[in-house]
Amino acid sequence: MSDPTNPNISKRSTEQWALYQRENFWKVNEGNWPPFNTDPRQLEQQAKEKLSQGGWFYASSNAGQSYTHLANRQAFFRHRIIPRQLVDTNLRDTTTEIFGHNVSAPIGFAPIGINKIYHNLAELPVAKVAGELNLPYCLSTAGSTPIEKVAAANGNGPRFFQLYMPHDDELTLSLLNRAWKSGFDALILTTDTWQLGWRHDDVAHSNYAFYRGIGADLGLSDPVFQKRCKEAGIDIEKDIVAASAKWIDSIWHGRAWSWEKIPWLIEQWKRISGGRPFAIKGIQSVADAKKCVDYGVDGIVVSNHAGRQVDGAIASLDALENIAEAVGDKIYIMYDSGVRGASDVVKALALGAKFVFVGRLWVWGLSVMGEEGVRHVMKSLLADLDILMGVAGFNSVKEFDRSIIESYPKSYSLIHERYGL
């Protein structure tokens, strides 16, 4: 199947991720069984069965009628990879560099808030597995574990902090300082979520854990936020619901920021971090991408938040194509939204992204089996990528450009139903 004594393995600069396939095929011989099926449709279904109703709704809800989510998935079908034959891929290399870190693959953990509703250990097992696999981990401001504890779990792994910026500069600075001191060495500001999109299932079930006093730990452990609670006469120990609500209402505050604030944030982050990278997540338009270049932003994440914010929006992958064409040589472009397998990663890279984040895939793994679940999902994705490169004739992730795909017109009406992922 996959010869573990293959002499090329020791010569590779990258781990032979492909051996994870063999490991799973071998399990029955040892009376074991692979943890679960990582086919995304089945994985999602297993997560649904495992989660509470609230956990499931929060993980699966999209904006409005889920049309943006559908578009995200459909866009991947429009591009097809052209395999090559008889290429010596024995020493292929999946690694890449992001913000000065050499990482195992151009794949990272997208920031996802409030992991507590998916698993009782919340962000900790996720950060741990990310560190172990040397894949960047991005912690959300809406995370349900103190920043410092997440850092400890992540160990020496590369890690970034995703900011939801409060309308309270002192609080923002406190978060940035905590993140920097804890080794989060790039800042990613999310700009598409001043407020959660209109998500029917969550609204219909009053599904908002923070208002039940669950998941605000990152904020409740902040000294400036603690001061704010005191000023407002809220005792965190006695009234967790009021404190948690106050926290999340200062994060998803429903009050937009505008471009004028960006120079201040860049200046503060650069001062605190000694010049480390600053990126904006949620960019979909070419005009905004150009503005990022003008404002001196180091990177952008072309993302529509997995289709959870604006219903009926363009596919994030289509946005990537437009943006990469316009500013691909001027700014570091990352991508997310709708990635469900290695071929999707390859397509996004081919269309101009330098790096790809995955969200729901690891949330489902966490939901199904905690730490082991996240590890299984991400090792499977790495193996999927390694094998794809091996069998399709690619030696380096740098080879993924427009020449390796064939793209078809945007005939999305061909796929008419909600693609259940």
Residues carrying an active site annotation: 305
What is the closest distance, in whole angstroms, from the C-beta atom of residue 182 to ligand FNR in the complex? Answer: 17
Per CB under 6 A, contacts with ligand FNR among 193-252 are none
**116 in contact with ligand FNR (CB under 6 A):** no
**38 in contact with ligand FNR (CB under 6 A):** no
Provide the token pair at 292: 């990022």
Give whichever of 234 and 313 is closer to ligand FNR, judged by the CB atom: 313
Per CB under 6 A, contacts with ligand FNR among 48-107 are 58-59
**111 in contact with ligand FNR (CB under 6 A):** yes
Site string for ligand FNR, 319-348 (x = CB under 6 A): -----------------xxxx---------
Q: Which of 144, 174, 303, 367 binds ligand FNR (CB under 6 A)?
A: 303
**40 in contact with ligand FNR (CB under 6 A):** no
Q: Which of 140, 144, 174, 284 binds ligand FNR (CB under 6 A)?
A: 140
Per CB under 6 A, contacts with ligand FNR among 179-198 are 190
Give whichever of 192 and 321 is closer to ligand FNR, judged by the CB atom: 192
**162 in contact with ligand FNR (CB under 6 A):** yes
Give whichever of 196 and 350 is closer to ligand FNR, judged by the CB atom: 196
What is the closest distance, in whole angstroms, from the C-beta atom of residue 166 to ligand FNR in the complex? Answer: 14
Distance, CA of 244 to CA of 226 (rounded, Å) = 11
What is the closest distance, in whole angstroms, from the C-beta atom of residue 280 to ligand FNR in the complex? Answer: 11
Give whichever of 360 and 379 is closer to ligand FNR, judged by the CB atom: 360
Size, binding site for ligand FNR by CB under 6 A: 23
Give whichever of 15 and 318 is closer to ligand FNR, judged by the CB atom: 318
**305 in contact with ligand FNR (CB under 6 A):** yes
Residues making contact with ligand FNR (CB under 6 A)? 58-59, 110-113, 140, 142, 162, 190, 281, 303, 305-306, 308, 336-339, 358-360, 363
